[in-house]
Amino acid sequence: MKQISNLKIMKNKEAIFGIRPIIEVIKSGKTIDKLFIQKGLHNESFAILWKLVRENRINYKHVPVEKMNRLTKKNHQGVFAFISPIDFYNIEDVIPNLYEEGKSPLILILDRITDVRNFGAIARTAECANVDCIIVPEQNSAAINSDAMKTSSGALNNIKICRTWNLKMTLQMLKDSGIQIVSCTEKTNNKIYSVNYQIPTAIILGSEENGISNEFLKFSDEKVKIPILGNIESLNVSVACGVILYEIVRQRLSL
């Protein structure tokens, strides 16, 4: 196997920099978690990389040169990337396969959950509850790094993670595929126990700070909340995830 140059470990994350090395990484089939591109970068070599970035729909962000120089003091040529420790799946491929296997799909959707340890804990619970896949947006989502892998206790190696550029379109695709959308939110009087989860279901969880985006709440077939009996107004999102998923497990085990 050809050795890829300019590879190093930064804060437990595998990183790569330089135009040609990143091109080699993409062509090798490795998954780029995040790509930083220096603002105003234009040259013939970058044009080749940019074409690959667009074709492979790689998550990228334009940043000033000062940010690039903080990432590495070496000759980065205006590009720097973190390599994902897992591969990602296309939800458009996952759903038909689940139906072909005779399953009633159970999908988890995370809206703007950026805390790495919460994400890892959610993945661990989801794998234990036999969730078929987790959908996350390309932007405003927790990095899948060594901390996430550790917190998930290896679950991220055993559950499909799907990333989407347009979560709104993905929600519509799920609805068109016969999957009910259930939002776990405080903006309702309905309890989590009031819904039939034995049918194909996708659960949306939102960030602890802002909850689920209003535009996604509009897509919901059901809105439910976990009853809170104490003085604290809400649960940690990873704990809330466990509560609702195991209500689903309870219902599905009763079949």
pLDDT value at residue 85: 85
Closest CA to 161 of 242, 58, 87: 87
CA 238, CA 144: separation in Å to the nearest integer? 16
The predicted model scores a pTM of: 0.81
Average pLDDT, the chain: 90
Band (pLDDT 50/70/90 cuts) for residue 6 is low
Domains in the chain: ranges and CATH: 7-83 (3.30.1330.30), 91-253 (3.40.1280.10)
Band (pLDDT 50/70/90 cuts) for residue 15 is confident
pLDDT value at residue 13: 59
DSSP 8-state symbol, 34: E
Half-sphere exposure of 206 (CA within 13 A, CB side): 19
Q: What is the pLDDT of residues 30-47, one digit of tens each?
A: 888 889 999 999 898 899
Band (pLDDT 50/70/90 cuts) for residue 59 is confident
Residue 80 tokens read as 């720097």
Residue 204 tokens read as 């949306």
Band (pLDDT 50/70/90 cuts) for residue 210 is confident
Query: 22: Cβ–Cβ under 8 A, 6 or more apart, which residues?
Result: 16, 32, 35, 49, 79, 81
In the predicted structure, residue 27 carries a pLDDT above the cut 60: yes
In the predicted structure, residue 195 carries a pLDDT above the cut 60: yes
CB 121 within 8 A of CB 191: no
Residue 40 tokens read as 């105003």
Of these ranges, 3-7, 106-110, 231-235, the one predicted with the greatest mean pLDDT is: 106-110
In the predicted structure, residue 9 carries a pLDDT above the cut 50: no
Average pLDDT over residues 140-152: 86
Q: Of 2-6, 11-15, 66-70, which gets the smallest average pLDDT?
A: 2-6
pLDDT value at residue 62: 93
In the predicted structure, residue 4 carries a pLDDT above the cut 80: no
